[in-house]
Structure 1
């Protein structure tokens, strides 16, 4: 009997395990990654530099002097429908009656909603999480697990090239580092 329990326990553990981490650069086609790596350093002086945190352009701001890769919405088709785990920072969009965020953009670095320039659309992921998560600090990193979709999303704040139907969202903790 004990020998039958071990495989069952192992299978149940695997079923509960999070998918392997996906790196943000994996969301970019190879040509975009190369263009990004060849780009000169970007000045991130923005509203936060002068103590003003309101950014009327949101994530849609554009600096015409930047290379096209900074506005790329090109995606990696092989990721469509794949279960992933992505770490990033939330930009809340909608919340439920209890104040939990149910819809948010996930971005690769903290404060992307106030930085200039914003991440390109293929570095923004719209996360749908009906269960909701209480977000007390947009500078606290999250792990988001679920099914990634190549799905262009556009709203008044930003354009994203991907959407993710999250099965789990949690704060990154010390054990993850």
Structure 2
């Protein structure tokens, strides 16, 4: 009986070990599936935006000037510097429209180059009017778009007028020139005509 009981225990141990070994054997991986290319983006489907469409309807950019008595101030009035600092602070945190985040858009504007090699501009600020960020203070953040462009497209230089087509993000970007409320990953940059 001891012999039979010993054989049963040994057999149970062998069965348990073989089950454990089977459970730890890694399955043979399936051959990798052919990579499917990402679908091409139809740039013709981009939503053409106007600059006013980047500003929430309830935001009043001139509210930062309210009650400051601008009409009574001379250019050299010390209160002007305080007022400009206050306005800049408000405009740098100007609200954006979150519903635009992730949309394929086409937006015209003026180029303020940030990064490039003299022949190709890789990043720039897109602004709605000539002279912004250089000759006059930057516009509010929701009127300033930081653009990165690896897709190419010719930007001839400062204040070049272009159409930028790409994915719009409601993501702020701080640059040496201005605070941008939006960014665009440009798929195409072309002359504005």
Q: Is the 8 A contact 1:73 1:160 kept in 2?
A: no
Tell me which of 53, 77, 80 is aligned to 1:26: 53
C-alpha distance 36-16 of structure 1, shift in aligned 2 (>3 A)? closer
The alpha carbon displacement at 1:152 in A equals 1.2
C-alpha distance 81-155 of structure 1, shift in aligned 2 (>3 A)? same
Which protein has the bigger strand share? 1
Corresponding residue of 2:98? 77
Q: Which runs of 5+ in 2 are unaligned?
A: 1-40, 71-82
Count of matched residue positions in the alignment of Structure 1 and Structure 2: 137
CA distance in 1, matches of 2:109, 2:159: 9
Corresponding residue of 1:89? 110
Offset from partner CA, 1:120-174 (integer Å, 9 cap, x none) = 111111111013343334333100001000111113222111110011100012x
The SS at the match of 1:17 is: helix
Residue 120 in structure 1 maps to residue 145 in structure 2: no
Corresponding residue of 1:161? 181
Q: CA RMSD in A?
A: 2.8
CA distance in 1, matches of 2:111, 2:129: 9
The alpha carbon displacement at 1:95 in A equals 1.1
Corresponding residue of 1:135? 155
The alpha carbon displacement at 1:66 in A equals 4.0
Tell me which of 172, 182, 193 is aligned to 1:152: 172
Q: Which has more radius of gyration? A: 2
Relative CO higher for 1 or 2, CA cutoff 8 Å, sep ≥ 6? 1
The SS at the match of 1:113 is: coil
CA distance in 2, matches of 1:127, 1:99: 17
CA distance in 2, matches of 1:109, 1:170: 17
CA distance in 2, matches of 1:25, 1:168: 22
TM-score under structure 1 length normalisation: 0.66
CA distance in 2, matches of 1:91, 1:153: 14
The alpha carbon displacement at 1:118 in A equals 1.7
